[in-house]
Amino acid sequence: MKNKLIFVACDASKIKKIKNIIIQTKNNELKITPKFGLQFFYSKNGRKFLEKFKSDFWLDLKINDIPQTALSAIDSLKDLKKCKYITVHANGGFEMLKAVKKQSKKINKDIKVLGVTILTSLNNKSLKEIGHTKNVQQLVLKQAEIIKKSGCDGIVCSPKESKMIRKKFKNLLIITPGIRLPGDSSNDQARVMTPKDALKNKVSGVVMGRSLTKGNIKHNVKKLIDHLNK
């Protein structure tokens, strides 16, 4: 199972809690890579912690701005040597995606740039409310085309759209958030799936948050391993 990409969302502001998540998710059967989002990156000591981090990690900033500002943002991250994945939002458009990809490779040839599509907290009703005329699947497919054309290494999409994306883009790296263990609450996510079902859809990897980090983390990891082995 070590070839499966499993990411744990390290959504906290306190270093102590982050360290606990990282330590408790280490195991001999799955390689679980930490994903740091806005909450930790913007926290008082988060940026400094990542400077000295010794293992691969995912920096989930969902960069979305004019191309030059996005370029400058990427350039400011060049000291984060172990950053293996970074996210940029498809809403920024083709030119921004292409610029971020190019600049990322200049600062770290091993970094993977992932284009983010419609957030998993949104559904068709939400899209209509903010002015979109396409439904979720139509919009995600359109965004995937732009992400692929820009040269980005992969895409972040809901597991609900992953099968459709894989059918069209055979070699694209597809990472899916909105993953819950069987019986867990969906919380603020609108489009969710179990890890096993998502991997059956031929995704490259999954992101898990509260299903791993809420309560007894080691027990949750064991549940995940048992779930994947069934």
Dump pLDDT digits (tens) for 52-101: 999 999 999 999 999 999 999 999 999 999 999 999 999 999 999 999 99
First and final C-alpha spacing in the chain: 12
Query: Which residue reads 């992101």 in tokens?
Result: 207
Quick one: pLDDT at residue 230? 84
Global pTM value: 0.91
Asked if 30 contacts 6 with a C-beta cutoff of 8 angstroms, the reply is yes
Domain 5-229 fold is TIM Barrel (3.20.20)
Quick one: pLDDT at residue 175? 96
Quick one: pLDDT at residue 187? 60
What ranges do the domains of the chain cover?
5-229
**128 classed as catalytic:** no
Catalytic residue among 26, 44, 62, 218: 62
Count, residues in the chain: 230
- Which has the closest alpha carbon to 36: 69, 78, 51, 198? 51
Quick one: pLDDT at residue 1? 53
Quick one: pLDDT at residue 122? 81
Quick one: pLDDT at residue 117? 93
Q: What averages of pLDDT result for each successive group of 10 residues across the chain (230 residues)?
A: 83 96 95 96 95 96 96 95 96 96 92 92 89 89 96 93 92 91 68 86 92 95 93
Asked if 185 contacts 198 with a C-beta cutoff of 8 angstroms, the reply is no
